[in-house]
Structure 1
Amino acid sequence: MRLLFVTWDGPGPNYHESLFLPIFAQSRRLGDVVHLLQYAWDADERSASVREAAQRLGMPYTTRPVWRTPQAPATAAMIAKGALDLVQYVRRHRIDVLMPRSIIPAGMALMALRFLPNVKLLFDADGLMADERADFGGWSREGAPYRALRTIESAAVRRADAVITRTRRAKRILAGRAELDMDDGIVVVANGKDAATFQPGTPPERSATRRELDLSDETPLLVYAGSLGPHYHPDRLAAFAAAVRARRTDAHLLILTGSPEVAHEAASAQGLDVESYTIQRVPPEDVPRYLAAADLGLAFRTASLSQQAVSPIKVGEYLLCGLPVLSTSGIGDLDDQLDVTTGWLLDSLDDQALEAAAAWFTDEVLPAREPFRVSCRARGLEHFSLDRSAAQYREAFDRIEGAVYA
């Protein structure tokens, strides 16, 4: 089987190297070839490292620049141009399956398939893009851009030979919108990470990492890893750290982010002493050891319709590293995946809720840190390992191929 994975990526994090390439490498059968076609705002800047990683895995990789303005006409033109690109690429490389990730590549694929009657469609919905624009980007759900993307989304779900989502909630939403039965080819696939990379480590390894931060083994260490846009609530992350420090004055907050200025502003606004937090940008390969050295992973988000389709990558990383998780209720399937042995879900981010969570952390998590480490690692392997994701992708590939993998 020759599969072409098509993505449309803005200026945010690039998940090809950290997420998709490892999953494709593990889920391919002998003889399968996965091609990558990435439409990106900063294609030239992104391409070198991804191309090198793809070449190591024997995956052909191509980038195309994105026309960005004016937004609506440029996007429509890109869908048409992308469809032409796909037709040419499929014919040149004898592709069997088109796999668009999200709505705009799906629009390209739907148009291209009019001229490719024998090519199959595996739609990786990966979130609710139109609803995310409405929830956080100021779009109106009555406006033409939103309705256009929703039309493409439902058309892709109906046309696809198989569909991938990240959560069971997204599966129900997409099936309902497309008026499909729940079992009509929709497969839930986790954002899995390598359990050999994201792992708890040994006590000496954790101690060594803490010494780099000038922290003792007894210091309660909170960690946040990832982007810090408004809907990740950096101000409330800092407020939670303040609530913990009210109970344990030696507690420390570690923020690993590409947006250090946002983190510094939030910490300052909450009155945190500069010695009570560390904010730094670290290479991706160093993130697992910092997570493993911590005691609690933070993952706040604004709950909304679009966030029901999200499987936060950082939650899987935290759990695989043995970290209990403090997260927001209503995000993806976390309400079902986390329980009292692995985390705490917040219905609110107000001061009272954060103080209750701080009490849980200091009174229940810290005295039982090792049992929490064991249960969190087990939960991470159950839901968020690379092996789990690869098996789920193989299920989707099976539905395309109509055969069972050995």
Structure 2
Amino acid sequence: MNIASLCRWKLEDVLTTSTVVPQLQALIQLQDISKIVFITLEDIIDESASRLTLHPVLLHNKVKWFPVSSFQTKSRLGNQVADFIMGCKKLRQIVREENIQMVIAHGAPAGAVAEKALKGIKLPYYVTSLEPHANYMLQSKVWSRHGLKYKFQKRWENLQKKNAAGLMPVSGKYKAALIREGVTAENIFVVPCSVDADMFRFNKQQRNSLRQQLGWQDAVIGIYVGKYGGLYYKEEAFAIYKQCFSIIPGFRLIILSPHPQAEIIQLLNQQQIDISKVYIASVAHGQVPPYLSAADFAFATIKSYPSARFCSPVKIGEYWANGLPVLLTAGVGDDSDIIQNEGGGALFNLQQEGSVERALEKIQAIISNPEHRREIPKLAAKYRSPRKIKEAYTYFFSRMEKQV
């Protein structure tokens, strides 16, 4: 079987690395698959061998990388429309020229391209990493309800629910919502965003080395990995950091973010946080684990909005795999229920007075237990294992064979 694997991110994008590459790794292990044409959206087409080594899976003899050039004009909306149209055209071309029997779209925006491109073609497509993207962007105030982006994405998502051969939402809560909307339960298999447990495993040597470099050998270190704004708290996150400095003796902060460093410093200054007690860097995904090992707990300051319960933040799985308790916004994905029922962190709600303080007290209690670094990774193994990806494909492919 020949498959087109459709990704709407760049090869270097952290979402490609953390969510799509594990899918490719699972697919190449399946005997029924002969070829995978992996499609990415690139600012500049560079097919040099050095880029392929970013992800060793691309060097596998089953995988053929097909980069598509993104439009780069002054109109962002115009670029996105042009990218969508070109994406549909290129996908149809690949289906024809590569004798594709199935399309796998990674995320709802990629699913929109698959839905449009395959209209009138009797070819099954599946959507992985499924989340209600349009509602995310609306509820986090990135998009307007009356804007074209929201209207089109919402329409394409509704068509995916109706026409896709299979859906792989990232949370059990979204599966339940899809069933309430009329999607057949047999067409759904939950696959949370997975984590490479070996890559993110706690390393005591790296911990000691990095803490010594920072001069923070005896500190209690909190770490945040990711963006600010959009789906994530920005000013509110820095107010929480301020509370940590006030409540936790010897607190220090590591921020690993692509966010402009000058703005991060400005946000720290607004909270009157001593910059000498904060380490700021932007690093590649593969360079994150040593910093997690150096830390004592982690922040997952995702905005509180209704559809947040349907998400599966990659960072939580990575934090857990390293043994870090997570300070998480209440109501996020299945993870908030896991933390409430099984541990692995503490929940806060900015609408409730004293919530952050109580959550930080719980975090301090967890890190005072010498066993926590060995116990918390069990949550990553239980809920974020890449094994779920292979199980999902095995399930859907066996169903497809029965229907033939």
Q: Deviations over 1:172-229 (max 9, x none)?
A: 333444x224x13111111112111111123x4421221122111x321111111222
Residues 108, 130 of structure 2: 8 Å contact kept:
no
Name the CA distance, whole Å, in 2 between partners of 1:64 and 1:336.
Answer: 40
Choose 7-16 or 119-128, whichever is displaced more.
7-16
Deviation at residue 36 of structure 1 after TM alignment: 1.0
Query: How big is the shift at 1:49?
Result: 6.0
How much has 1:67 moved relative to structure 2? 4.0
Out of 127, 130, 137, the residue aligned to residue 131 of structure 2 is 127
Range moving further from structure 2, 320-329 or 207-216: 207-216
- State the AA in 2 paired with 1:353: S
Q: How far apart are residue 265 of structure 1 and its match?
A: 2.0
User: Which residue number corresponds to residue 326 of structure 1?
Assistant: 327
In 2, the alpha carbon distance for the partners of 1:167 and 1:50 equals 32
TM-aligned CA distance change 1:356 to 1:392, over 3 Å: same
SS of residue matched to 1:278: strand
Aligned to 1:20: 20
Inter-CA distance 257–79: structure 2 relative to 1 (3 Å threshold)? closer
Q: Matched residues in 1 for 2:51 and 2:22: separation?
A: 12
In the other structure, the counterpart of 1:358 is 360
Q: Partner letter of residue 387 of structure 1?
A: R
Residue 93 (structure 2) aligned to one of 88, 92, 104? 88
State how far apart, in whole Å, the 2-side matches of 1:245 and 1:258 are. Answer: 23
Offset of residue 94 of structure 1? 1.1
**Aligned position for 1:55:** 58
Map 1:294-313 to 2 at 5 A.
294-313=295-314
Partner of 1:258: 258
Counterpart residue number, 1:168: 172
**8 A contact 1:7–1:37 mirrored in 2:** yes
Question: Hey, what does 2:68 align to over in structure 1?
Answer: 64
Aligned to 2:247: 247
- The corresponding residue for 1:151 is 155
C-alpha distance in 2, partners of 1:137/1:64? 30
* CA deviations over 1:76-96 (Å, ceiling 9, x no partner): 555444333222211211111
1:370-389 map, 5 Å: 370-389=370-389
Q: Shift of the alpha carbon at 1:278?
A: 1.2
- Where 1:44 maps in the other structure, the secondary structure is coil
Find the aligned partners of 1:256 and 1:77 in 2 and give their Cα distance. Answer: 33
TM-score normalised by structure 1 residue count: 0.86
In structure 2, runs of 5+ residues without a counterpart are none
Q: Deviations over 1:7-28 (max 9, x none)?
A: 2238994422333223321343
Structure 1 residue ranges without an equivalent (≥5): none
Q: AA paired with 1:344?
A: A
| Equivalent-residue separation in structure 1 for 2:80 and 2:291 (angstroms) | 40
C-alpha spacing 1:254/1:88, structure 2 compared with 1 (3 Å): same
Quote the offset at 1:137 in angstroms: 4.8
> Distance between the aligned counterparts of 2:45 and 2:353, measured in 1?
45
What residue is the counterpart of 1:100 in the other structure? Answer: 105
Which deviations, in whole Å up to 9, do the C-alpha atoms of 1:319-340 show, x marking residues without a partner? 0000001000111111222236
Change beyond 3 A, Cα 1:206–1:349: farther
Instruction: Compute the TM-score of the two structures, normalised by the length of structure 2.
Output: 0.87
CA distance in 2, matches of 1:366, 1:313: 22
Pick from 198, 201, 217: which aligns with 1:199?
201
CA spacing shift, 1:133–1:97, aligned 2, 3 Å: same
Output the CA distance in 2 between the equivalents of 1:344 and 1:378: 17
**Distance in 2 of aligned mates of 1:34 and 1:243:** 49
Q: Is the 8 A contact 1:110 1:156 kept in 2?
A: yes
Give, as a single letter, the amino acid of the residue that structure 2 aligns with 1:268: N
1:231 deviates by 4.2
1:208–1:73 CA distance, 2 compared to 1 (3 A): closer
Contact 1:221–1:296 (CA under 8 A) maintained in structure 2: yes
Counterpart residue number, 1:224: 224
Show the counterpart of 2:270: 269
Write the letter of the residue equivalent to 1:299: A
CA distance in 2, matches of 1:16, 1:401: 29
**Cα gap change, 1:143/1:10 in structure 2, threshold over 3 Å: closer, same or farther?**
farther
CA distance in 1, matches of 2:296, 2:47: 34
Question: What is the one-letter code of the residue matched to 2:38?
Answer: L
Instruction: Return the alpha-carbon distance in structure 1 between the equivalents of residues 170 and 206 of structure 2.
Output: 33
Q: Report the 3-state secondary structure (helix = DSSP H, G, I; strand = E; otherwise coil) of the residue aligned with 1:5.
A: strand
Aligned mates of 2:287, 2:116 — CA distance in 1? 42
Match of 2:121 in 1: 116
Residues 305/210 of structure 1: CA separation in 2 closer, same or farther (3 Å cut): same
Tell me, yes or no, if the aligned pair for 1:5 and 1:34 is still in contact at 8 Å: yes
More off after superposition, 140-149 vs 373-382: 140-149
Residues 244 and 14 (structure 1), Cα distance of their counterparts in 2 relative to 1, 3 Å cut: closer
1:232-273 superposed Cα distances (whole Å, 9 cap, x missing partner): 224333333332332343111111112223322222211112
Query: Which residue in 2 is equivalent to 1:286?
Result: 287
